[in-house]
Amino acid sequence: MQGGILVVGAGGLGCPVALYLCAAGVGRLGIVDGDTVALSNLHRQIGHSWQNLGESKACSLRRACLSINKTSSVEAYSFRLESVEQAAELMQGYNVVVDCTDAPFSRYLLSDAAIASGRPLVAASAVGLSGQLAVYNFEDGPCLRCAFPTFPGSEEASEPVASCEENGVLGPIVGTVGSLAALEAIKVLAKGTGLHASCLRGRLLLFDALDAAQPFRSLRIRRHPDCVGCSLRSARNPPGLPPRGCPAGLPGSDLVGLQAEELQVRLRAGRPTLLLDVRQPAHFSVAQLKGAHNWPLPELSRTSAEELFRKTSSLESDCKGAGASEEPTQVVCICRRGVDSLRATLLLRQAGVEALNLEGGLLALARVAQEAGFALPALT
Better-predicted residue by pLDDT, 380 or 19: 19
Beta strand extents in 57-215 (DSSP E only): 73-77, 96-99, 121-127, 130-136, 203-208
pLDDT at 140: 85
Write out pLDDT tens, residues 331-348.
Answer: 999 998 887 888 888 888
**Phi, psi of 375, deg, nearest 5:** -70, 155
The CA distance from 69 to 21, in Å, is 10
What is the per-residue pLDDT across 63-110, written as a single tens digit (0 to 9) for each?
Answer: 999 999 999 999 999 998 888 889 999 999 999 999 999 888 889 899
Query: Catalytic pick from 164, 199, 246, 333?
Result: 164
Tell me: the pLDDT tens digits for 270-304?
A: 888 999 999 999 889 888 888 899 999 889 888 88
CATH number listed for the domain at residues 4-236 = 3.40.50.720
The answer to whether 35 touches 199, Cβ cutoff 8 Å, is no
Question: Distance between the two ends of the chain, CA-based, in angstroms?
Answer: 51
Dist CA 111 CA 107 (whole Å): 6
State the greatest distance between any 2 C-alpha atoms of the chain, in Å, as a whole number.
78
**172-212 pLDDT per residue, tens:** 999 999 999 999 999 999 876 777 778 899 999 999 999 99
Please give the pLDDT value at position 152: 60
Task: Give the pLDDT confidence of 112-162 residue by residue, as tens digits.
Answer: 999 999 999 999 999 888 899 999 999 889 999 888 876 664 434 444 455
Residue 59 annotated to the active site: no
Give pLDDT, residue 30.
97
Is the confidence at residue 28, as pLDDT, over 90? yes
List, for residues 59-71, the tens digit of each pLDDT value: 999 999 999 999 9
What ranges do the domains of the chain cover?
4-236, 253-372
pLDDT beyond 70 at 235: no
Cα 221 → chain centroid: 23
The predicted structure's pLDDT at residue 295: 94
User: Torsion over CA of 311, 288, 279 and 126, rounded to 10 degrees?
Assistant: 180
Q: Which fold has domain 253-372?
A: Oxidized Rhodanese; domain 1 (3.40.250)
- 230 catalytic per annotation: no
